[in-house]
Structure 1
Amino acid sequence: MSDWVLLRGLTREARHWGAFDEALVAHGVVGAGERVVCVDLPGNGAEHAHTAPVSVVAMMDFVRERAVALKVRLPCRVLAMSLGGMVATAWAERHADEIERLVLINTSMRPFARLPERLRPAAWPMLARIAITWTQPERCEAMILVLTCNRNDMRDADIARWAWLRRTHGASAAGALRQLAAAARFRAGDERPQCPVLLLSSAADRLVDPVCSARIAKQWRAPHRVHPWAGHDLPHDDADWTCNAIAVWLGEHERTRDIRAASA
């Protein structure tokens, strides 16, 4: 029985998960007696009053402290997106006894990818416009949606909700730049963390090239599943596919463990 810790990415927060925790339960990823605990990175959401560090490791230390304060049972399972995936990787590398399993969604990190793969050049003009309109919530969030989501049936509702989140506990422009700097500087180890790892990526990600996840999976000899049409925000675009991929992976590990136990 393990709690799940969910970590979002650059300037996003717990409330951007929407009803994803319910989808995890519905697909059996989160079992009876287990909790889903969403932890915000410093500078985002509930932690918006904290200065965002320019180090992923410092972010990891902050998240660990919050996990203890929230009484997360260790070792826990961590599901993390993008920048959150870097934080989760740092956690698993430095405190292996605290992480049981790791799911990384559309993440990227050195030494497995170059800058044009970690941030697609085609996205740079849009990122510049987002920076210019940072204090205009609706305009800014509309562009973020175009860049990160390929599902548009909830477009107006998403923009309205995300604009409201930005007005309440939104990250500052300076905080966004500090998070970008931290992401750019982070370097993972060549070897896979000690826990089992699953990589999920989106073939149609406009922000991050899915080759980043493919290279991590190859180097770490970890399973990798690719969604055919979703954008960078995979849980937003197709929560059911995401949860099903995790559930299948968990089931495969359970069957492998049972086979090994039977043959021992």
Structure 2
Amino acid sequence: MNHTTPPDHRNTDDDIAPEAEAPAECSDAVKEVTTEAIVDGATDIADTATEELPAETPDCQPQAPAHSQPPQPQPRHWVLLRGLSRDSRHWEAFPEQLQAAFPEDRVTCLNLPGTGPNHQFSSPAGISQIVDWLRQHYAASLKQQPLHLLTISMGGMLAADWMHRFPEEVAAGVMINSSSKLSSLSQRMRPGTLFTLLGALMSSMPKREKVIVQRTSNRHTDNGDITNRWRIYQQQQPVSAMTMLKQLFAASQFEPQAISQPLLLLASRQDRVVSPECSEALADYWSADLRLHKSAGHDIPLDDSEWLITQLRLWLEKREPSATEQNTAEIETAIAT
């Protein structure tokens, strides 16, 4: 299957809720409750003060607008970030699957300096410096804010730094199998994995990509198609050993800071690169939601994208009330006041 990298942005129409009809009069003593449609797609009920009901009309109450339309949710802007030495093509079919699951949203894949189409750029050796580079290099693609950062491995460290230093730019974050200095070295890099990866750096490119597939996936270890595609990616846009070493150093120095936005951490119990205890430590530190996969490898989007999208749906439903629920709550508030 040939994988096509999704475009950096998708056009979405602005959703503007129509104005609601005014409610019928209840009595001369009651002022009208009106609704206002507010530009930018989010509709709020405008509360107007009501005079105290006279004693002789105790049963007369203001009624909710009969034809009020539920507010339309703002489209999210998902920004996807990969990890060590990977680029947007290594998401394989996941960006298209994410777009199909949330058709009103926008999906953008970024490539780190030194990888993919940016392989000729020098990679910084610090997490914050890489974030600064991304914000500057992709400024035109990141105008639709706030962002929903969806990341894997070292990409999670970039997301955490971004959310901490530029909270107004990020609405929420999702981090898959990431780690930090809260965990020990043996947890951040499973025994044997570090030497395997370092050995792969010194090997031929086809062997290196085969080792990476076998280490990061539990369901595609013998998948020659994926290995061949990843080999072609490296032939077309090679990632230098220096870029990998700088990224490894940057990741090794990452320390989490305070984050105020909603955060979902996902990890796999059978990850053979990073221990799930790293995600557990981060979830405790940030008081974040954590979900564990029973059998997938480090690359959950590759091994079980359906499970990943299900977790996103459940998490979003939990923290984002539906349009109907939001509209009902606003009407009840308007009537109560």
Q: Same fold (TM over 0.5)?
A: yes
Q: Is the 8 A contact 1:37 1:72 kept in 2?
A: no
**Aligned-pair CA distance for 1:256:** 8.9
Deviation at 1:72, TM superposition (A): 3.9
Output the aligned Cα RMSD. 1.9
Counterpart of 2:264, as a letter, is L
CA distance in 1: counterparts of 2:312 and 2:192, whole angstroms: 30
2:90 aligned with 1:16? yes
Q: For the Cα contact (< 8 Å) 1:150–1:229, is it kept in 2?
A: yes
Residue pair 2:99, 2:107 contacting (<8 A) in 1 also: no
1:209 pairs with one of 258, 264, 275: 275
Structure-to-structure mapping, 1:1-264, within 5 angstroms: 1-27=75-101, 30-32=102-104, 34-110=105-181, 112-133=182-203, 136-152=204-220, 155-189=223-257, 191=258, 193-255=259-321, 258=325, 261=329
Query: What amino acid does structure 1 have at the position aligned with 2:239?
Result: A
- Whole-Å separation in 2 of the counterparts to 1:41 and 1:26: 25
Q: C-alpha separation between the residues in 1 aligned to 2:121 and 2:241?
A: 13
Q: Is the 8 A contact 1:202 1:226 kept in 2?
A: yes
Amino acid at match of 2:224: D
How far apart are residue 124 of structure 1 and its match? 2.6
Q: Which runs of 4+ in 1 moved over 3 A?
A: 255-264
Which residue is 2:44 aligned to?
Answer: none
Distance in 2, matches of 1:53 and 1:99, equals 22
Higher Rg of the two aligned structures? 2
User: How far has the Cα of 1:255 moved from its partner?
Assistant: 3.2
Q: Distance in 2 between matches of 1:154 and 1:261?
A: 53
Q: Is the 8 A contact 1:198 1:222 kept in 2?
A: yes
| Contact 2:214-2:221 within 8 A present in 1 as well | no
Larger RCO (CA within 8 A; separation ≥ 6): 1
1: distance between equivalents of 2:215 and 2:168? 36
Q: Within 2, Cα distance between the matches of 1:184 and 1:97?
A: 27
Could you tell which deviates more after superposition, 42-51 or 18-27? 18-27
- Give the partner amino acid of 1:73: Q
User: 1:205, 1:72 → 2: CA distance?
Assistant: 35
Partners of 2:80 and 2:329 lie apart in 1 by: 31
Instruction: State the secondary structure of the residue aligned to 1:226.
Output: strand
Partner AA of 1:132 in structure 2 = M
Q: TM-score, normalised by structure 2?
A: 0.72
Relative to structure 1, the CA distance from residue 69 to residue 157 in structure 2 (aligned partners, 3 Å threshold; closer, same or farther) is same
Change (3 A) 1:3 1:72: farther
Contact 1:39–1:66 (Cα < 8 Å) also in 2: no
Name the CA distance, whole Å, in 1 between partners of 2:261 and 2:153.
Answer: 19
Rounded to whole Å, the distance in 2 between the matches of 1:250 and 1:195 is: 13
